Structure 1
Amino acid sequence: MQRRSILVLALGAVLASTLSAPLAFAQQAGDAKALRLSTTTSTENSGLLAYLLPSFEAKTGIKVKVISVGTGKALELGKNGDVDVTLVHARQLEDKFVAEGWGIDRRDVMYNDFVVAGPTADPAKVKGERDVIAAFRKIAAGNAKFISRGDNSGTDVMEKGYWQAAGTKPAGANYVSAGLGMGEVLNMASELGAYTLTDRATYGAYKAKTGLAILVQGDKRMFNPYGIIAVNPDKHKGINYEGAKQLIAWITSREGQAKIAAFKPEGEQLFFPSAQ
């Protein structure tokens, strides 16, 4: 009788182990499918990712965790192995990231453009200017205030290049380096009656809040392309490269590109697909 009880207990333990094994595996597989994406504030603030990612998640079962920062920080997170894939907009920084071996499989995704936004009163008289460098010179000469991202984002890198080309910059307190995201900078520009460089998508998302106007647009130097890059799994253990490849494949596919083109808050297309 005692031997029979021991046998029953042993069989019960084996059965419990057998039944729990698939559950444990499923939990591990679910954890392994989490994908960490670093990206710019423009893709987050505009609402684009909230619109795109549910379709990808439903199709693949991969949950995406978004970390929204400036491009420089987004790439640093990739270098540190803190994310699996990055979606950014600063081609020189992207190429350097890949050339140094931190990223692989870079693909073009989409583009939009930069604009100069500012108060409707336009104290520097730049409204309608199509030469961004000439507009920057007018802002500097007009004793007007300018708010810079100051965060090594793609927008910040582009803005610094414009000032360098202009050969001047607003003096003293007229130039504010905020160290903040695009949405926060637009709010600051509104409060201070200042100009700023912004991507069109984030401007559109904050237009009603800030009351700022687009004053300078249309210069080909204000073209703003976005690329997606997988973090090199050879650099860090635990990188979800398979998940990164699936996101890259989906966002550059016909389906993903069509979703980007269809994103039109208030009827205005903010991003244009560019995957080849």
Structure 2
Amino acid sequence: MRKNRLLTILFAFMLLVLAACGNSDTKDTSAAKEKKEAPKPEPTEMILATTTSTQDSGLLDVILPIFEKENNVKVKTIAVGTGQALEMGTKGEADALLTHAPASEKAVVDAGDAINYKRVMYNDFVLVGPTENPAGVSGSDIKAAFQKISESKAVFVSRGDDSGTHKKELGIWTAANLKPEGEWYVSTGQGMGQTLQVAAEKKGYVLTDRATWLAQQKNMPDLKIVVEGGNDLMNIYHVMQVNPEKHNMVNGKDAEKFVEFMVKPETQKVIEEFGKKEYGQSLFVSYTE
């Protein structure tokens, strides 16, 4: 009798243990399921106004997905000329700016429309022209090259869009005491990629950033670099955020994150490596302060 009672107690105890384990497993499973099914926060949105060269070169396709994933941000890119990008900043129509016209950028910063202004990278400008090179330009003296093109009335294709490249081109004409005008001087009002296409079609000369040229040259076998390497052909890019205190509708929080992302060592390494495998050289060189 005593033995049967003991067996009954042991059996009841085992049932309690099994029930407790079952409840624990159920709780653990439910907790894991609840954790797994927890909705991911919707990404915030940030507007980046930038020059067409960062898009045409393919750089943005590499770095923006990294930033978006790290910060749960969806970036809307507006690739225009630097002048237009900076104007968007002065109107509070963008959150962050990535451009390459230092003098114009400084004016925007000095006016208080942009803050957190940092140097990011550089490459250089090159003069590209038809393989037959009708103006006979060469070497590294870009002002002398413009002089020869003007004298020979060889076709010159300008972006004409107030971009950083266009500003640089106009500065060279001014430094050479020249005023380009006439049928030989063609203004496209378009981005760098499209302007290169026009130059290829018209067999004309064109000033371009090296990154866009390297990315596009395979489509333009009748064009080649004819002038490069001059000290006055450096092309410096800066990043900045639009001032949220002056423009209260901008996304200052994510814009600040983007500026810091662009200058951190990991991103700088990505920039430095971009293009090496495909083109045998970096399309941009890291250049932080």
After superposition, residues 177-216 of structure 1 pair within 5 angstroms as 177-211=187-221, 212-216=223-227
CA distance in 2, matches of 1:61, 1:202: 29
Q: Tell me, yes or no, if the aligned pair for 2:119 and 2:287 is still in contact at 8 Å.
A: yes
Equivalent residue of 2:133, what SS?
Answer: coil
Matching of residue 268 in structure 1 with residue 278 in structure 2: no
CA distance in 2, matches of 1:270, 1:180: 21
Return the match for 1:139 from 139, 149, 153: 149
CA distance in 2, matches of 1:36, 1:81: 10
In the alignment, residue 193 of structure 2 is paired with which amino acid? G
Equivalent residue of 1:124, what SS?
Answer: coil
In the alignment, residue 174 of structure 2 is paired with which amino acid? Q
Q: Tell me, yes or no, if the aligned pair for 1:37 and 1:85 is still in contact at 8 Å.
A: yes
Matching of residue 233 in structure 1 with residue 233 in structure 2: no
After superposition, residues 120-159 of structure 1 pair within 5 angstroms as 120-127=131-138, 129-159=139-169
TM-score normalized with structure 1 length:
0.87
Q: Tell me, yes or no, if the aligned pair for 2:214 and 2:279 is still in contact at 8 Å.
A: no
Measure how far apart 1:204 and its partner are: 0.9
Equivalent residue of 1:158, what SS?
Answer: helix
Q: Tell me, yes or no, if the aligned pair for 1:143 and 1:170 is still in contact at 8 Å.
A: no
Return the match for 1:72 from 64, 68, 83: 83
Measure how far apart 1:26 and its partner are: 4.2
User: Which residue of 1 is the match for residue 112 of structure 2?
Assistant: 101
In the alignment, residue 173 of structure 2 is paired with which amino acid? W
Deviations 1:2-49 (A, max 9, x none): xxxxxxxxxxxxxxxxxxxx97x945xx3xx21110000000000000
CA distance in 2, matches of 1:162, 1:146: 13
Q: Tell me, yes or no, if the aligned pair for 2:157 and 2:185 is still in contact at 8 Å.
A: yes
In the alignment, residue 156 of structure 2 is paired with which amino acid? F
Q: Tell me, yes or no, if the aligned pair for 1:145 and 1:170 is still in contact at 8 Å.
A: no
Measure how far apart 1:62 and its partner are: 1.3
CA distance in 1, matches of 2:268, 2:180: 40
Gapped runs of 5+ residues in structure 1? 1-21
In the alignment, residue 210 of structure 2 is paired with which amino acid? R
Aligned length: 249
In the alignment, residue 176 of structure 2 is paired with which amino acid? A
TM-score normalized with structure 2 length:
0.83
After superposition, residues 19-58 of structure 1 pair within 5 angstroms as 26-27=41-42, 30=43, 33-58=44-69
Q: Comparing 156-165 with 54-63, which one deviates more in the overlay? A: 54-63
Residue identity over aligned pairs, in percent, reads 44
Matching of residue 248 in structure 1 with residue 259 in structure 2: yes
User: Which residue of 1 is the match for residue 31 of structure 2?
Assistant: none
Give the aligned CA root-mean-square deviation in angstroms.
Answer: 1.5
In the alignment, residue 158 of structure 2 is paired with which amino acid? S
Q: Which runs of 4+ in 1 moved over 4 A?
A: none
Matching of residue 161 in structure 1 with residue 171 in structure 2: yes
User: Which residue of 2 is the match for residue 87 of structure 1?
Assistant: 98
Deviations 1:54-79 (A, max 9, x none): 11111111111110000000011111
Gapped runs of 5+ residues in structure 2? 1-37
